[in-house]
Structure 1
Amino acid sequence: MIMKKLLEKVSILSLSLVLTTSFSISSALPSMFEYYKELPKSQIELLVSLPSAGIMATLFLNPFIERFLDERKMIISGLSILSVSGMVPFFNQAYPILFISRLIFGMGVGLINAKAISIISERYHGRERVQTLGFRGSAEVVGTALITLLVGFLLQFGWTTSFLAYAAGFLVLFLFMIFVPYHHLEEEHHVQTSQKEPLKKEEWRLTIILAILAAMIVLCNVAVTLRIPSIVAYTFKDQHNSSSLILSAMQLIGILAGITFSGFVHLFKTKLITYAGIAYGLSLLAVALSPNISVLAFSALISGYTYSTALTMVFQILSANIPPQRLNQVTSVAVLGCSTGAAITPFALTFIGLISQNNAFIFTILGLAMAFLSFSLLYLLKDYHE
């Protein structure tokens, strides 16, 4: 029985392995810039964050989709769609095909995104819930790191081959189908749909605040993911092969963030999101001012750690303050905030670039904005407990 429960928890956590892997192909951007040299770089960078638009579209459609698909079928469909569409660029490199496939990839992720988080908040309680949410954050960054490493390895065979890394989604699908019982998900889905209630005013306020924060957290992380390969390639030219290693390490540090999350929540309560957010902003300033590859790598590690901690706190605060019957709804809004942040990143970078294209300037602006927003939470969240 203990082993059965463990395998079920591991399989549920494995859903988070694929949630943010759309950014793992950023290591292939320099090669893609060369291949699509007739197109603006911003148009190529858009392919990395484009799945976020698909995620947003699916989150809006989820209430309609749930009328026809139960929770298990939505998750299985999502995993199948993201795995197949993720590999499409290996077979066809036409930009319109890539554009559509990346959008569909995001729609697949959108089918499982909110549920991968709300399942944990609904099934586990107290300290176990906090620990499992921390492990979920670790699973998310571990998945991204492993796919990023795989992309880096496959990149030596050509940038199109790197997209085969998304075949890993089929492994997650196998684990879910074998070890997560159908009737458990059916029961949760039935409870959610039958007990759905409108959010109260204070619940909406908390959800919107945290969704905006989540958007900013993800925007900054995507910016780092998008620009580090270019920084390494054009600023530290003798270290051009280091970008995939730095990005992977930045994600893997999330394991440590997940392990230490429960302890920090116990110590700092709700204020942890403020402290982590300010540290996150300072790490972006460090990225901006990095004089060499070593400082850049260290700054990226701090960025990855604080990013994971701050974002996990968003969902921890929601699960602690929102009743279970309304938790899936607010989780979807928070995930929508994450997707919005990712989707608008290229446009935010372009907008800041109107003043200066210098990466140091861009990350200074983002770092200061992140730190200021996090500091404001001391006032905005003072009425909410951990």
Structure 2
Amino acid sequence: MDSKSSKINNFSFRFALLSISLVLTSAYALSPAIPQMIKSFPDQSVSSIELLVTVPAFSVMILVLLSSYISKKVGEKLTVCIGLVLVTVFGIFPFFTSSYMLTLVSRIFLGAGFGLINSFAVSLISEFYKGSQKESMMGFRSGFESLGQAIMTFVAGLFLAFGWKYTTLVYLIAIPIFLLFYYYIPSDKKSQNLKNDADKVKNNIKQKISLPVWGIAIFLFLIVIFYIGMTVRFPLIVTSYHLGNAEDASLTLSIMTFGGMLLGF
């Protein structure tokens, strides 16, 4: 086994590569805090408060489209690192402000960080792994995504005892992820041969999306819509109908995403 194969099969390398998926769906980790956020911003409507949880999705879409262009300028590794910095800085920013507008803006930039990471969480696996190894890593990546949401939602629920602003501190998890990724994942120059091979394959294949793929995409689109709607509204339903408190809602959402983690693995 050559040194390159040995490195990519190393546990630390695999974990560093998969770890960036831990934060990708963490925008909804603050859902249990919505009841407290409503009290904290009495001049805002319920829909405006829920927007704080869902608005990162809009900037994710924009930055996913722009991420390939950005990576061509600064490289894939640096693009992901910038995304992790944005997640850290703007994820915890609401802890230091009582302004609704500043909180909203910080959540938009948080989504931008997710968007810079999102596509590379998948594409980097395709660059380093092929065949059954790639399929296995994709499954683990899906599991890590659900695991991250489950852990961050659960921890955010624990932090609710101190106030909703403390829930934003869960984004500090991006710091060790940044360090792992920066240390273990090679720079673009070191993995250039892998990307060149991939580019040759892409140049020889004419991309075309078939009708069944469109059908699957629409189906998954609807699933995500229903899932996000349920995740955002669930804590408010639990507290409004006196079915439990925000911490109970957080625990329930964590258990649900834990199921997604098991199926992903």
- Assess same fold via TM > 0.5: yes
The structure 2 residue matched to 1:16, chosen from 21, 24, 32, is 21
Distance in 1, Cα, partners of 2:112 & 2:200: 25
Quote the residue 1:112 is aligned against: 117
Distance 1:207-1:234 versus aligned 2 partners, 3 A rule: same
In 2, Cα distance between the equivalents of 1:190 and 1:24? 38
CA contact (8 A) 1:72 1:185 kept: no
Whether the aligned pair in 1 keeps the contact of 2:127 and 2:195 (CA below 8 Å) is no
Q: 2:260 aligns with which of 218, 241, 254?
A: 254
Q: CA RMSD in A?
A: 2.4
TM-score w.r.t. the length of structure 1 is 0.62
Which of 96, 100, 103 in structure 1 is aligned with 2:105? Answer: 100
CA distance in 2, matches of 1:106, 1:188: 29
Q: Distance in 1 between matches of 2:195 and 2:55?
A: 29
CA contact (8 A) 1:24 1:147 kept: yes
Q: Does 1:56 align with 2:69?
A: no
Summarize the alignment of residues 293-372 of structure 1 with structure 2, pairs less than 5 Å apart. none
Residue 149 of structure 2 is aligned to residue 160 of structure 1: no
**2:43 partner SS:** coil
Name which structure has the greater RCO, CA cutoff 8 Å, separation 6+: 2
In 1, the alpha carbon distance for the partners of 2:64 and 2:247 equals 37
TM-superposed CA distance for 1:74, in Å, is 0.5
Tell me, yes or no, if structure 1 residue 31 matches structure 2 residue 21: no
**Which runs of 5 or more structure 2 residues have no equivalent in the other structure?**
1-5
Q: Which residue among 35, 43, 46 is the counterpart of 1:41?
A: 46
CA-CA distance at 1:192 after TM superposition: 5.5
User: What is aligned with 1:215?
Assistant: 221
Shift of residue 31, structure 1, vs aligned partner: 0.2
Cα distance in 1 for partners of 2:195, 2:132 equals 24
CA contact (8 A) 1:121 1:129 kept: yes
Structure-2 change in CA distance of 1:96 and 1:192 (3 Å): farther
Q: 1:204 to 1:106 in 2, by over 3 A?
A: farther
Q: CA deviation at 1:143?
A: 0.6
Would the aligned equivalents of 2:61 and 2:115 in 1 still touch at CA under 8 Å?
yes
Q: Residues 136-193 of structure 1: CA distance to partner in whole angstroms, max 9, x if unpaired? A: 1110011111111121111111111111110111111111112222245444455556
Report if aligned partners of 1:70, 1:186 keep a CA contact under 8 Å in 2.
Answer: no
Distance 1:86 1:189, change over 3 A: farther
Q: Deviations over 1:31-77 (max 9, x none)?
A: 00111122111111011111111111112222431331111111111
Amino acid of the residue matched to residue 227 of structure 1?
A: R
Once the two structures are superposed, residues 274-326 of structure 1 have per-residue CA deviations (whole angstroms, 9 ceiling, x without a partner) of xxxxxxxxxxxxxxxxxxxxxxxxxxxxxxxxxxxxxxxxxxxxxxxxxxxxx
What does residue 93 of structure 2 align with? 88
Deviation at 1:26, TM superposition (A): 0.4
Shift in CA distance, 138/237, structure 1 to aligned 2, threshold 3 Å: same
Distance 1:250 1:48 in 2: 18
2:17/2:181 contact within 8 Å kept: yes
Q: 2:249 aligns with which of 243, 246, 260?
A: 243
Aligned counterparts of 1:191 and 1:18: Cα–Cα separation in 2 = 30
Q: Take 2:136 and 2:201, find their aligned partners in 1: how far apart are those partners?
A: 27
| Alpha-carbon distance in structure 1 between the residues aligned to 2:52 and 2:117 | 21
Q: Contact 1:58–1:111 at 8 Å: present in 2 too?
A: yes
Please state how far the C-alpha of 1:129 moved relative to its aligned partner. 2.3
| Deviation digits for residues 194-246 of structure 1 (CA, Å, limit 9, x no counterpart) | 76549857426455434323321211111121121122112243455310100
Q: Secondary structure at the match of 2:247?
A: coil
Task: Establish whether residue 203 from structure 1 lines up as the match of residue 209 from structure 2.
Answer: yes
* 1-structure distance, mates of 2:261, 2:67: 30
1:20–1:73 Cα change, 3 Å: same
Write the mapping of 1:247-286 to structure 2, written as runs, cut at 5 A: 247-259=253-265
What runs of 5+ residues in structure 1 fail to find an aligned partner?
A: 260-386
CA distance in 1, matches of 2:68, 2:244: 51
Correspondence for 1:365:
none
For the 8 Å contact 1:93–1:160, the answer to whether it is kept is: no
Residues 206, 26 of structure 1: CA spacing in aligned structure 2 closer, same or farther, 3 A cutoff? same
Which residue number corresponds to residue 3 of structure 2? Answer: none
Contact 2:32–2:246 (8 Å) recurs in 1 = no
1:66 partner SS: helix
Number of residue pairs matched by the alignment:
259
In the superposition, relative to structure 1, how do residues 197 and 210 fare at CA in structure 2: closer, same or farther (>3 Å)? farther
Q: Output the CA distance in 2 between the equivalents of 1:107 and 1:192.
A: 27
